[in-house]
Amino acid sequence: MGISVGDKLPDARMTRMGAEGPENVQLHDVLSGRKVVVFALPGAFTGPCSTIHLPSFMKTADQYRAKGVDEIICIAVNDPFAMTAWAKSTGADEAGISMLADAEGQLTNALEMAFTAPHLGLIGRSNRYAALVDNGEVVAVSVDDPGVCDISTGEKFLETL
């Protein structure tokens, strides 16, 4: 399928931490009636994900909100425990970045965005991309080449809006 402007994001079961622990949510419900920036990356606590990609959206969060974005969501093929710990350790939670775990890779696989780099210990992870999604429809998207962290960063993606 890939991800392109005009596409509706496929519905997928995602997981996030709630007040009572992990809770499943349907991506469709999270996106419905809202303007959301969704960005995906290979994994919590990994190199460029922690030093470049996530921080870039933390730095630009207010600029996205000024453009009418209701929520900024980080997605990775991780469990919700790792995503929550990562958000706390980086300050992403304080910056208002929401974390959704694509624990089963449902969204990643439906979008054909799976990224595998066995030499790094990354199997079945997500390639990097950023998308502006309005009521579930992709209105802007940037997809990095596998293993690259460039056009899907917060700063670069903001330039496309």
Locate the DSSP E strands across the chain: 13-18, 21-26, 35-40, 71-76, 97-101, 114-117, 122-126, 129-134, 137-143
Segments making up each domain of the chain, as ranges: 13-160
As assigned by CATH, the class of the 13-160 domain is alpha beta
| Res 1: pLDDT | 57
pLDDT (tens digit, 9 = 90+) per residue, 114-149?
A: 988 888 888 889 999 999 999 999 999 999 998 899
> Which residue(s) pair with 45 in the sheet?
none
pLDDT (tens digit, 9 = 90+) per residue, 37-64?
A: 999 999 999 999 999 999 999 999 999 9
| Res 130: pLDDT | 98
Which active-site residues does the annotation give? 49
